[in-house]
Amino acid sequence: MRIYLQFIITLSWSVRSFQSALIGEKKKKLYIYLNQVIYIMSDVESGDERPTSRRTAGGQNEEQELASKMLQIQSKRFYLDVKENPRGRFIKVAEIGADGRRSQIYLALSTAAEFRDHLSSFSDFYSSLGPPNPDTVPEDGKLKSEVMVKANRRYYLDLKENTRGRFLRVSQTISRGGPRSQIAIPAQGMIEFRDALTDLLEEFGTEDGGFRGELPEGRHIRVDNKIFYFDIGQNNRGVFMRISEVKTNFRNAITIPEKSWSRFRDIFGDYVDKMKESGGGGSGSAAGPSSSSVSDIPPPPTSSTTATTSSDRERDPPNK
């Protein structure tokens, strides 16, 4: 691991050295080549080997790369990798900046198809714009925005303009405090990006695999100074419900497999009936309003002081 890291650092230094020492086409070709090596080696360092597959402790394939495309758009390179894990197939989009910095997002195949359609819409809108005019740019720089939702993931698409030009920023967020990641596609390259995505989707389809139905939306209730969140998710073991108890600077959660839901319901029902028979209530009034009537409940805290159980760490990359 240390050798790999030293190798990556050395290559990064070499890129900057050659960038200042060489000129013309030689500089460009060498710069692209060294950055490609850095991308490959950084995948190895992070355990995401290309093009081989990751394996579990039992030796079974956990994640496999099926296809890959590389796009050079202005000074950036984009890798579109079709991968497959036990949950299904997805596309990893990695952006490599001119300085070697890397960012990436994950798209389920069905989400990638929706994103492709949005790229056409954004491209048409971009074509209808006149030359950049600083006097007409909105204060936040956003010219057009859309949102995509997939299970517990949201994707924010913003066509923006700043002093360097116009670009499409794609931000991926995970509900309940997951990390935010984003890429930025130069506006002139949206059509090229869309076409590459279309080629992959035509080859691999738009079915994600795993659970075929629509997962129910999450709900929440407030009880005194606590909020309980009920989220439905899916991993390689199937569908599950995560119940999170959230207070200020505290979070605890349990995960219940779908096959156990009816048993949990029966046990809760038995206790409710027994409390009613003994005069202990059970009417549900103490539990506060339902999720449909609550509009001001904040999201759970995401600070470093948040306590998280091992089940909370099951938040896996998409179907990705």
Question: What are the residues whose beta carbons fall under 8 Å from the beta carbon of 221, sequence distance 6 or more?
Answer: 227, 228, 287, 288, 289, 290, 291, 294
Q: How confident is the model at residue 259 (pLDDT cuts 50, 70, 90)?
A: confident
Whole-number pLDDT of residue 36: 54
Tell me which H or E stretch contains 208.
none
Supply the mean pLDDT for the chain: 75
111 touches 150 (CB < 8 A):
yes
Q: Average pLDDT for residues 291-316, to the nearest whole number?
A: 41
Please state, in angstroms and rounded to a whole number, the distance separating the CA atoms of residues 112 and 150. Answer: 11
Q: Greater confidence, 46 or 189?
A: 189
Model pTM above 0.85: no
Buried b (16+ CB within 10 A) or exposed e, 102-114: bebbbbbbbbbbb
Please state, in angstroms and rounded to a whole number, the distance separating the CA atoms of residues 133 and 198. Answer: 33
Q: How confident is the model at residue 315 (pLDDT cuts 50, 70, 90)?
A: very low
SS3 assignment, position 224: coil
Q: How confident is the model at residue 91 (pLDDT cuts 50, 70, 90)?
A: very high
Greatest mean pLDDT among 25-39, 164-178, 182-196, 266-280 lies in 182-196
228 touches 245 (CB < 8 A):
yes
SS3 assignment, position 39: helix
Task: Express each pLDDT in 181-195 by its tens digit.
Answer: 999 999 999 999 999
Whole-number pLDDT of residue 32: 54
User: Is the pLDDT at 280 greater than 90, yes or no?
Assistant: no
Determine which of 19-28, 65-74, 133-142, 250-259 has the lowest per-residue pLDDT on average.
19-28
Please state, in angstroms and rounded to a whole number, the distance separating the CA atoms of residues 57 and 1. Answer: 19
